[in-house]
Amino acid sequence: MSRLDELEQKFSAEVSFNKFEQGLDLHVESLKTNDFLVSWISLFVKEKRLLKKLYIRKNKLIQALKIYYSGKASPDVYHEKPLGDRILRTELDSYIQADDEYLKLKEEIDEQESVVELCERAVDALKTRAFLIKDAIKYLEFINGL
């Protein structure tokens, strides 16, 4: 199970309170909201920091690949990973974007961007959760004639 899947399950469990038939105490759920919000904000900051580190890794990798594909790397590098034909400067970007190491890092960044987006949406949803619970409590009071 991916990190994104785990966080989606956590999000669903913490945000959902539509369990009236199970006797859920909405007052208690309302009090939990702040704890959930603090937890998700902390997670959001942590995941955003990780994403920034991945962007830095990507920039460093692009620089290293430019040196490699332009033929300016040390001979030891070409001994381990031969380059083959000389690459034109205009073709440099396409070779970099097709590089296996670059693609692997790009996939990691895409996954992390999804995690950050989920965390951001969770924070937004939790900000409105208390109001939704308050409305649910008022609705139940209305139905029960209170």
Q: Dump pLDDT digits (tens) for 48-84.
A: 999 999 999 999 999 999 999 998 888 888 888 888 7
Alpha-carbon gap, residue 83 to 104, rounded angstroms? 20
Whole-number percent of the chain with pLDDT over 90: 42
pLDDT of residue 21: 44
Domain edges within the chain: 25-140
Neighbour-count burial for 26-44, b at 16+ CB within 10 Å, e otherwise: beebbeebeebbeebbebb
pLDDT of residue 84: 78
Neighbours of 70 (CB within 10 A): 15
87, pLDDT greater than 80 = yes
pLDDT of residue 17: 60
pLDDT of residue 67: 92
pLDDT of residue 46: 97
The residues, ordered by sequence, that sit 6+ positions from 99 with a Cβ below 8 Å of its Cβ are 65
pLDDT of residue 137: 75
Tokens in use for 15? 């945000």
- Identify the sign of the CA torsion 126, 41, 121, 16: negative
Alpha-carbon gap, residue 30 to 137, rounded angstroms? 10
pLDDT of residue 24: 61
- pLDDT for 29-49, tens place per residue? 777 778 888 999 999 999 999
